[in-house]
Structure 1
Amino acid sequence: MTINQTLPNPAPVFNQVAAFANSISFDTIPGHVSTTAKLLVLDLIGVLIAASKLEAGRIARDHAVRHWAAGEGAPSARLMLDGRKVSLPGCGFATATQIDNLDAHDGWQPSKGHAGAALLPALIAFAEAAPAVSGREALTAMVLGYEVSYRAAAALHATVSDYHTSGAWNAIGCAVIGARLHQMDDTVLRHALGIAEYHGPRSQMMREIANPSMLHDGTGFGAPVGIYAVLAAEDGFTGAPAATIEFDDAAFAWADLGENWLTAQQYIKPYPVCRWAHAPIDATLRLRRDHKLTPEMIERVDISTFKYSAELNGDVPSTSPMAQYSLAWPIAAALARGRVGVDEVMEQSFADPVLTGLTARIHASVDPAIDATFPDQRLASVSIALTDGTVLDSGPTEASGGPDPQPTEAEVVEKYRAFAGTVLSQARVHEIETAVMGLDGPSADFKTVLDSLAGTVA
C-alpha cells in the first residue's frame, strides 16, 4: 500500500463509492442478487443460532453486557437469542464473535475470507436502534455491505504482503451499512470509512490457523470497529481517507462497482469448518458413498491439496476452534459418520475412538498444480488405501457450495433448518425462516426478524 499519498480532497473513487451507497435501492439491485442476499441472511442466522451454544458465544455475550453497556442516553441493541441490551458496538462484538466461531458462513473466494459474519451483526445493531427498517432496506444494506467489503478485501490483499483476517476489511462494509441507515452525508461517510479501515484488526490469519482460538477470523472486532466508526464520525471524529478505497493502487478494485455484483458470486459453506477443508471432505464423502466404506476398511488416507489447506491441523482436536481449523478431523468424521455437521466440531465428539483412530491415518501434502489454482479455486484429491490393498482415488475435486454452481434455495433452507434445529424448537425455526424468506415483500419489516430472534433459547 502506498503509505505517503496525500489526499487533501476526496479521490474520484470515493465519490463513486459514496454515490453508489446513496443511490442503491432494492429496485436497482438485480433480482438474482437480492434473492441471494435473502438466502445469505437466512444462512447466517442459522449459523448464529447454532453458534449460540458455543463457549465463545456465551463469553462474548456476557462480556458485552459487563463491558460494552450503552451509556445514558446512548442507543442500545438487544443481543439475539439472549434479550439483554448492550451498546451498538457491544452487539456487533458479541454477535460477530458468535457467528465467527462457527466456521460455516459465506465467503468470496478471492477475498480469502468472509463478509457476512460481520455485516449481519452490524445490520442487527443499527436496526435495533432505528425507528424502522423495512425488509427491502435490510437486504439493500446487506448487498451494499458485501459489494464494499469484498472490494476492500481485494485492494488490501493486492497491496500488502501479510495475510490479514477478514476483520481488517469487513469493518469497512459494516461502516457503510451504518452510514446508509443513518443517511450520512459524504463528508461524514468519508471519515467513517477511514476510521473503520484504520482501526480494523490487521490480525495475522496464519497465526490463528496454526494456533486455533476464539479469535478466529478477526470478525469479532471487525464488526464493532465498523459500528464505532459510524458513531465516532457522527460525533465529529475525523479519519479520512480509507487507503483501500482512495489510494491509487487500490483503484482497480472499485472499477466495476455497481456493474459486477460480488454478492451473488459467493459460496455458502455446507460444513462448519474452514473452507480449505471442504474439497477433501466432498471427495471423501463421495468415495465413502460410492464404495460403501466403513472405518475398519481404511488403512491410510492421503490428501493432495493447496498449501494453506495442507497446513491445517492434523491432530485430534481438544477445542471447537481446533476442530474447525483442522483437515484430518473433518475427514475422519466424513469417513466414520458420513457427515460433517455441528455435532462433529463440538467437544463431545473429541473422545470418539473411531474418529481419533481415523485421524491418525490421515496425511496431507501440497500438490503444486492444485496450489497454483488458489484462491480462485479450492481443489483437492483424496487417495484412500484399504486394508485389502485396494487404493481409491477421487481425482481433483472442487469444493461444493458455490460459487459455480450456486447452492439452490432448497439446499440453503435445508442447511438453515439443520443448524437452527440444533438449538431451537421446530416451531421457532419455522417462525424465523418465514420472517426472513418474506423480507423482499413490499410490506416486510426487518424488526419482525429481530423480534423472532431476540428471545432467549430456553
Structure 2
Amino acid sequence: MTMTISERIGEFVSQIAYDDLPKSVVKVAKRCILDWLGAGYRGSKAEASSWVLDLLRGGNGKEASFLTYPPSKGNFLFTAFSNAFFSHILEIDDVHRGSIFHPASPVISAAFSQAESLGASGKELITSVVLGYEVSIRVAECLGLSHYKYWHPTATAGVFGSAVAGAKLLKLDPKKVAFALGNAGTSASGLWQFNLDGAMTKPLHPAKAAMEGLISANLAYRGFSGALRIFEGEKGICNAMARDGFDLEKLLYGLGSHWKTEEVSLKPYPCCRHIHPSIDAAKEVHRASKLKPQEIASVKVYTYRVGMETAHFKVPTSLEEARFSISYCVALALKFGDVNLDLFSPSLLRDEEILSLIDKTEVLEDDVYTKNHPQKWGAKVEVLSRDGGVWSSETWFPLGDPEKPMSDREVEDKFKGLVKPVLPEDYLSELIGRVWSIEEMENIRSFFEE
C-alpha cells in the first residue's frame, strides 16, 4: 500500500537523530535559538504580553518556563503559547524568505516547552527544532503565494512545525507522527484581515500554532488518530487553503539532504521583513548623502507587489501599523540612519519631520522585483534633494539573509540589545554561553536556571 505524504514525513522525523544533522545546520539552529530568546524576552515586556500572562499563568500539569524575568513556570502548553506570542509581537523574529514564514516563534517555543516538560537533552531539543523547521518550511513552500494572499503561513505552516517538534521529543513512531500532522492540519488557521484593519492579532497566530501543535503531538502519543492525507486529500489543507495553486512535491523534496534551516534569515530591524530591503537602501542613501529631512524634496521606493500589499500603511496611527509601513520605516532610516525598537514610539508617529518625509514618499511596484519574489526580496530607494541632487541605492538581499548574513557577534549584539532592559548582565551572558553549548546539556530543565 502506498504511503501517504504524512506517513513519509513521519518516517523521516522518527529516524533522524542529532548525529545525522550537519554541523552547519546545528550552528544555524543555535543562532535561531539565541535570536528567539532575545525576541521573546523583550517581547514579554509588551503591554499585550502582560495580558497573555495574566490569562495563562498558573495552569496544572507538566511545567516549563515562560520567557520572563524573574524566571517563572506554568503548564507547558501555556508556556508554548506565551513564548511564541512574546517572540513574535515585536516583529524581530527570524524568517524563511522563499516561504515567507517565521519558523522560530511557533517551532522553538513549542520545542523548548515540550523538552523542558520531559527533561529532554540539549541534543534532543536541537534535533526537534531542526525537524520542525524542515517540515514547516516545506509546508509553507508547498502552499505558496496563493495561500499567502489570505492565510498567514506562520500560523498555518507553523502548527505543523510545532507538532513535529513535539512528536520528535515524545519519540513517536512514524504512524503517530502522521496522526500529529493530521490533527495539526485541522487546527491550521490565521487570516490576514488583521493587517487590513490595523489590529493586534498577529502574535496570536504563532502562539496558537505552538500550542495546537503540541496538543496534536501529545494526543497522538496517547493514540488519538488524525487524518493521514491531510496534505494531498480532497478536503485537506492544500485543496482547502491554496486552491489557486500548490506543489505537493515541495513537501518531500530534499528531506534529509537539502536542509531548509540553512536558508533562514535573521531580522536586524523590528518590522515586517518585506520592508527590510527598502530600509537597507534608505540607510545607504542616508550614509552617502548626509541629507537632512528638510533638504529632501521627494522619495521614491520601488519594490515587489506582495511587499507593497502587506506593508501598506501610508501614515501609521499605531505601532502595529508602523511595523507594516514602508513609508514610515524608510522615513526613519532617512532621518536617523537606522531603524530600531526605540524608534517605534507614539511620539515619532506624530513627529513633523517624519510626517513630512512620509508625505514626500511614493511607494511603487517594480515588475522586476515582483517577478523575482520570493526567491529574492529586492528594493530601490531614490531620493531627490532640494538642490537637484539624486541619490539612489538598491538591494536584492537584505541584511540577515544567507547571502548577507549577520555575524555571530552581530547576533549576540542583537540579543544583548533586546534583553538588557529585561535581564541582569550576568544572567544575559550566561544564556548566550548556554545556547552555544546547548548540545552538551543532559537535561534542558537547567537552561533557564539562574
Q: 1:405 aligned to 2:391?
A: no
Q: What's the counterpart of residue 195 of structure 2?
A: 209
Q: What's the counterpart of residue 266 of structure 1?
A: 264
Distance 1:208 1:76, change over 3 A: same
- Where do 1:164-179 residues align within 5 Å? 164-165=151-152, 166-179=154-167
The separation in 1 between residues aligned to 2:159 and 2:229, in whole angstroms, is 12
Q: Deviations over 1:92-112 (max 9, x none)?
A: 221111112111111111211
Shift of 1:162: 4.6
Q: 1:151 aligned to 2:141?
A: no
Distance 1:275 1:443, change over 3 A: closer
Aligned residue for 1:111, secondary structure, equals: coil
Q: What's the counterpart of residue 309 of structure 1?
A: 307
TM-score normalised by structure 2 residue count: 0.90
Distance 1:324 1:37, change over 3 A: same
Shift of 1:84: 4.4
Distance 1:308 1:159, change over 3 A: closer
Return the match for 1:241 from 216, 228, 232: 228
Deviates further, 409-418 or 353-362: 353-362
Q: What's the counterpart of residue 70 of structure 1?
A: 59
Shift of 1:414: 1.8
Aligned residue for 1:113, secondary structure, equals: coil
Cα RMSD, aligned residues only? 2.3
Q: What's the counterpart of residue 129 of structure 2?
A: 142
The separation in 2 between residues aligned to 1:379 and 1:115, in whole angstroms, is 22
Return the match for 1:250 from 248, 251, 257: 248
* Structure 1 gap ranges (5+): 1-8, 453-458
Q: What percentage of residue pairs aligned between the two structures are identical? A: 26
Return the match for 1:35 from 27, 30, 37: 27
Runs of 4+ in 1 over 6 A off after TM superposition: 245-248
Are the aligned partners of 1:60 and 1:98 in contact in 2 as well (CA < 8 Å)?
no
Q: What's the counterpart of residue 199 of structure 1?
A: 187
Aligned residue for 1:150, secondary structure, equals: helix
The separation in 2 between residues aligned to 1:420 and 1:241, in whole angstroms, is 42
Distance 1:210 1:198, change over 3 A: same
The separation in 1 between residues aligned to 2:104 and 2:13, in whole angstroms, is 17
The separation in 1 between residues aligned to 2:393 and 2:441, in whole angstroms, is 49
Are the aligned partners of 2:112 and 2:125 in contact in 1 as well (CA < 8 Å)?
no
Shift of 1:50: 1.6
Return the match for 1:229 from 207, 216, 228: 216
Return the match for 1:121 from 97, 109, 122: 109
Q: Deviations over 1:140-192 (max 9, x none)?
A: 11111100111111222278585421210110110111111111223322211
Distance 1:349 1:160, change over 3 A: closer
Amino acid at match of 1:90: F
Amino acid at match of 1:367: D
Q: What's the counterpart of residue 274 of structure 2?
A: 276
Aligned residues: 435
Are the aligned partners of 1:56 and 1:97 in contact in 2 as well (CA < 8 Å)?
no
Q: What's the counterpart of residue 76 of structure 2?
A: 88
Are the aligned partners of 1:44 and 1:117 in contact in 2 as well (CA < 8 Å)?
yes
The separation in 1 between residues aligned to 2:180 and 2:446, in whole angstroms, is 29
Are the aligned partners of 1:438 and 1:444 in contact in 2 as well (CA < 8 Å)?
no
Amino acid at match of 1:79: F
Q: What's the counterpart of residue 286 of structure 1?
A: 284
* Structure 2 gap ranges (5+): 239-246
Are the aligned partners of 2:380 and 2:395 in contact in 1 as well (CA < 8 Å)?
yes
Amino acid at match of 1:191: F
Shift of 1:138: 1.4
Q: Deviations over 1:75-124 (max 9, x none)?
A: 23332215444332222221111112111111111211111111111012
Aligned residue for 1:229, secondary structure, equals: helix
TM-score normalised by structure 1 residue count: 0.89
Distance 1:98 1:245, change over 3 A: farther
Q: What's the counterpart of residue 244 of structure 2?
A: none
